[in-house]
Amino acid sequence: MDTILRAEGIGRSFGDLRVLDGLDLTMDQGEFIGIVGRSGTGKSTLLGILGTHDLEYEGRLELGGRDVKAEDSAGLASLRRDFLGYVFQDFHLLPELTAVENAILPAVFSGRDAESARNSAIDVMSHLGVRMDGTPTAMLSRGERQRVAVARGLVNRPRLLLADEPSASLDDENENILFDMLDDLRKRQGFAMIAVVHSLSVLSRVDRVMELSEGRLHPVRKPGGAV
């Protein structure tokens, strides 16, 4: 199995606050890891580092065999464009743009032609059940905006999707629908996924559950399953 992510001895502090402290994680191609942990333990901080948004970490992070700290700005841009998809905890959508316009932004920024970007956005969003009329995303419900954010994370067909609580705004039924659709997309596209999750029904779907506490990841027994 190919290793797509290797993090060794990751540390991150904000002033005197030590958030991550010697964290290790290795991940295989196509794997789905669920991360749990109390509020404030550093889950979003960790995803920001894995997503190359935060480069101020200690330790070593390899994505697709490339040492993130050794990449120049063109190398980082190509990792973000070709390797990573990201779903932010607070969505980061542009409120005046429609769902399709928001979802194609990463494709447009990465220089793909607008027509092919539009087609892949529409493909992903029809799978995710996103409303695709001309409504600005500011007018959509939280749950609808959440699905637009997931669609945007997938539009460049990443090898690794990082999703910070991708179903936090959804009720149980819509959460299950979202993860059924993500399972289906993962079968078709084969991407790996790290998601910060809370609900037991989502945790039962993942390959591995890891709990973030005291700055490190600890394996957790899956609900009703082996570690």
Q: In the complex, which residues of this chain contact ligand ATP (CB under 6 A)?
A: 14, 17, 19, 37, 39-45, 89
Task: Pick between residue 14 and residue 109 the one whose CB is nearest to ligand ATP.
Answer: 14
DSSP track, 34-101: EEE--TTSSHHHHHHHHTTS----EEEEEETTEEGGG--HHHHHHHHHHTEEEE-TT----TTSBHHH
Task: Pick between residue 88 and residue 99 the one whose CB is nearest to Mg ion.
Answer: 88
Number of residues that bind Mg ion (CB under 5 A): 3
CB 68 within 8 A of CB 52: yes
Phi and psi at 13, nearest 5°, equal -125, 150
Nearest Cα residue to 145 out of 157, 130, 158, 133: 130
CB 147 within 8 A of CB 128: yes
Q: How far is the CB of 67 from ligand ATP (least distance, A)?
A: 23
Q: How far is the CB of 189 from ligand ATP (least distance, A)?
A: 27
Task: Pick between residue 121 and residue 202 the one whose CB is nearest to ligand ATP.
Answer: 202
Q: How far is the CB of 57 from Mg ion (least distance, A)?
A: 16
Grouping H, G, I as helix, E, B as strand and the rest as coil, residue 9 is strand
Q: How far is the CB of 175 from Mg ion (least distance, A)?
A: 17
Task: Pick between residue 41 and residue 102 the one whose CB is nearest to ligand ATP.
Answer: 41
Task: Pick between residue 10 and residue 99 the one whose CB is nearest to Mg ion.
Answer: 10
Tokens of 106: 């990463």
Pick the piece of the chain touching Mg ion (CB under 5 A) from 27-35, 85-93, 113-121, 142-150.
Answer: 85-93
Q: How far is the CB of 47 from ligand ATP (least distance, A)?
A: 8
Q: Which listed residue (13, 44, 176, 189) binds Mg ion by CB under 5 A?
A: 44
Among Mg ion, ligand ATP, none, the one that 41 touches (CB under a kind-dependent 5 to 8 A) is ligand ATP
Question: Could you tell me whether strands 32-36 and 208-213 are parallel, antiparallel, or unpaired per DSSP bridges?
Answer: parallel
Task: Pick between residue 16 and residue 133 the one whose CB is nearest to ligand ATP.
Answer: 16
CB 194 within 8 A of CB 50: yes
Among ligand ATP, Mg ion, none, the one that 42 touches (CB under a kind-dependent 5 to 8 A) is ligand ATP
Contacts of 38 (CB under 8 A, 6+ apart): 213
Distance CA 117, CA 104 (A): 6
- The footprint of Mg ion (CB under 5 A) covers 43-44, 89
